[in-house]
Amino acid sequence: MTFLGTGTAWSKAPGNYNNNVLVSTADQRWLIDCGTTAPLALHHMGLSVADFDGVLITHLHGDHVFGLEETGFYNYFALGRKVKLWLPELLLTRYSGIDGEDLWENCLRGPMGTVQMLDGSPREVGLHDYFDVELLVANQPTLIHGTKVEIIAVDHVPSKPSFGLILNDTVAYTSDCTFSLERISRLLDAGVTTLFHDAYFGPPFAGRVHTSVEELLTLPRDLAECLVLMHYNDDASAEERQRVIDAGFRLAIKGEAHDFSAVSSAEP
């Protein structure tokens, strides 16, 4: 797992990028989320939207999905191929029943819904023209390029389906989430040894939809030492960062790679 960036929706290059991750195996690559800054972050790594095989989306915010426009367009027009899209089914309104929670209708159709044919005529296209879509269901593991992946529901914005991941039973990734001691304890008790967790440097405030560092600092050290903090704000001071490190946490760093265990022997 290599972090394209570890920042929030407000993060700016070259300091940091949106909290998106490149997962690499021996011969294949895929992304966890593809936000606004993902194409630029890949470019600065010597890669592009042509250099991965698929994307898994955790929820519908721009710092997690807006890079799909360039991904879809470039692969469709320049390479003539579809990119794999692993999509929690609740991110389509017909499954969730939530108006406005639809990746195609509410995020991508506006810029991508019409293309021009060779004769100059317009053609209406859809999500499946750009992407090879595989729908995912929470708590039902699947294999992605040899990695066992299970999506889990997390709380982020009320009435907004949002998901984290468990990889090969031992690594968990919350994506964006509010604080839950019960969730952290449950994941670690189930065998997760490394938990990549959402973190916001700053005091808790009304209406926040991310986990504050102040909340995380209430964890006992044995739990803290299992957590790698990500999705933190660019303006976090050196003193604030050192405080969490002294408490036992680790910080994910842009461009930093993290190994995770070989595929689980359990079939998904």
Give Cβ neighbours of residue 51 (< 8 Å, ≥ 6 apart): 29, 42
Nearest residue to 103 (alpha-carbon basis) of 125, 84, 126, 132: 126
Residue 123 has pLDDT above 80, yes or no: yes
- Please count the structural domains in the chain: 1
Residue 228 has pLDDT above 70, yes or no: yes
Residue 64 has pLDDT above 90, yes or no: yes
Please say whether the beta carbons of 255 and 231 come within 8 A.
Answer: no
More reliable by pLDDT, 160 or 203: 160
Whether 267 is in a domain gets the answer no
Write down the pLDDT at residue 217.
Answer: 96
State how far the Cα of 49 lies from the Cα of 46, in Å rounded to an integer: 11
Residue 203 has pLDDT above 90, yes or no: no
Whether 213 is in a domain gets the answer yes
Please say whether the beta carbons of 169 and 149 come within 8 A.
Answer: no
Whether 261 is in a domain gets the answer no
Which two tokens mark 4? 């394209």
pLDDT band at 261 (very low <50, low <70, confident <90, very high): low
Q: Across residues 211-235, what is the average pLDDT? A: 96
- Tell me the average pLDDT of the chain: 94
Residue 162: which domain range?
2-251
Write down the pLDDT at residue 67.
Answer: 98
The secondary element (H helix, E strand) that includes residue 240 is helix 238-246
Q: Across residues 40-52, what is the average pLDDT? A: 97
Write down the pLDDT at residue 178.
Answer: 96
pLDDT band at 93 (very low <50, low <70, confident <90, very high): very high
Whether 262 is in a domain gets the answer no
Which two tokens mark 85? 């899209």
Percent of the chain with pLDDT over 70: 96
Write down the pLDDT at residue 268.
Answer: 44
Whether 260 is in a domain gets the answer no
Whether 207 is in a domain gets the answer yes
State how far the Cα of 154 lies from the Cα of 165, in Å rounded to an integer: 10
pLDDT band at 25 (very low <50, low <70, confident <90, very high): confident
Domain of 187, CATH number, reads: 3.60.15.10
Residue 37 has pLDDT above 60, yes or no: yes
Whether 259 is in a domain gets the answer no
Q: Across residues 30-57, what is the average pLDDT? A: 97
